[in-house]
Structure 1
């Protein structure tokens, strides 16, 4: 079966034809206006680019949402607030993660800054998640200290591993280590020996 024919049939079913007879032919080259040189646009301020993108995105989703962007220690941090902001997190923060990836891509393109990290929080989701992870880290640290045996967590994103590393950084009885590669990277909490 010819894939081209199937695609043509599919497009025709949508009212899109490969060669639409009603379309007018392209204008002759001499009828086109002379090309005007376009000046290279200077990269936009990263904070302004991120705020503009997130404001446009949230306005299309829910005009009642507002965006605040600030410069953190190692990243641009955006907070989306409003009555229905928490819904933007999605299941297990997946929608929020996708918003961060797109925001990072826009920032890299508009501001020419692929070196900046972007963190977005909606309705305090990231803060609540960090608090929950810190409490989990403390419970596991007590368990590891009592048993003397290491505890290996399930694979998790770098941001979540970082929260646990920071929560247990100064713990007197345990130490943390990340092992594995890519999406299989996970954290191990080990007893601290002398």
Structure 2
């Protein structure tokens, strides 16, 4: 329930009724006074109740959670969502049964859901919010996997002296590869190709 129309003997009484129905505080709603009402003569004759239309203010976090839960429900998943906010950055962490269905092969489902939720959360926000979505600590595990891969491939490049091209990766994962090898002065890393098939190249350091 996001909007109600209520009546009461006074505007305040009608408002309190609306807040109870919406389970909200006055700061969380927008109020349209349809009729301020009328006390009537001696409080009896010609009396008219006050009428209000009260709606919930847009809440980007609430809208984002609702969106994710609706998508998950279609997949038969009902995750718990932990929310962490740091300034204009918002992090959602999902947990629960069948969570792998929200991750998908190599995080493809999770990445797609993150991009779509990013649009939803900013549609309801006056300021741009940077959104990140994780499920079952996948992001951390994936970072560890990519870091290990980067170091193995770098060793091969150093030993054989030949360039290696990795499989296409999302921008965030390419960044992990670059960061993992940034301190290696014997190799160069750079990205080639166009999205969504852009990939990392690990090459011997140019002499």
Residue 77 (structure 1) aligned to one of 91, 105, 108: 91
1:3-26 CA distance string (max 9 Å, x none): xxxxxxxxxxxxxxxxxxxxxxxx
Q: Which residue number in structure 1 is paired with residue 205 of structure 2?
A: 192
Consecutive unaligned residues of structure 1, counting only runs of 5 or more, are: 1-33
- Would you say the 8 A contact 2:83–2:93 is kept in 1? yes
Consecutive unaligned residues of structure 2, counting only runs of 5 or more, are: 1-33, 35-52
- Would you say the 8 A contact 1:47–1:71 is kept in 2? no
Superposed, 1:1-194 pairs within 5 Å as: 44=59, 46-55=60-69, 57-58=71-72, 61-63=76-78, 65-71=79-85, 75-113=89-127, 115-193=128-206
Count of aligned positions: 155
TM-score for both structures, normalised by structure 2: 0.62
Structure having the higher strand fraction is: 2
Cα RMSD, aligned residues only: 3.1
- After TM superposition, give the deviation of residue 79 of structure 1 in Å: 0.7
1:109-136 CA distance string (max 9 Å, x none): 11245x4332211112222222111111
Structure-2 change in CA distance of 1:173 and 1:116 (3 Å):
farther
Secondary structure, aligned partner of 1:184: coil
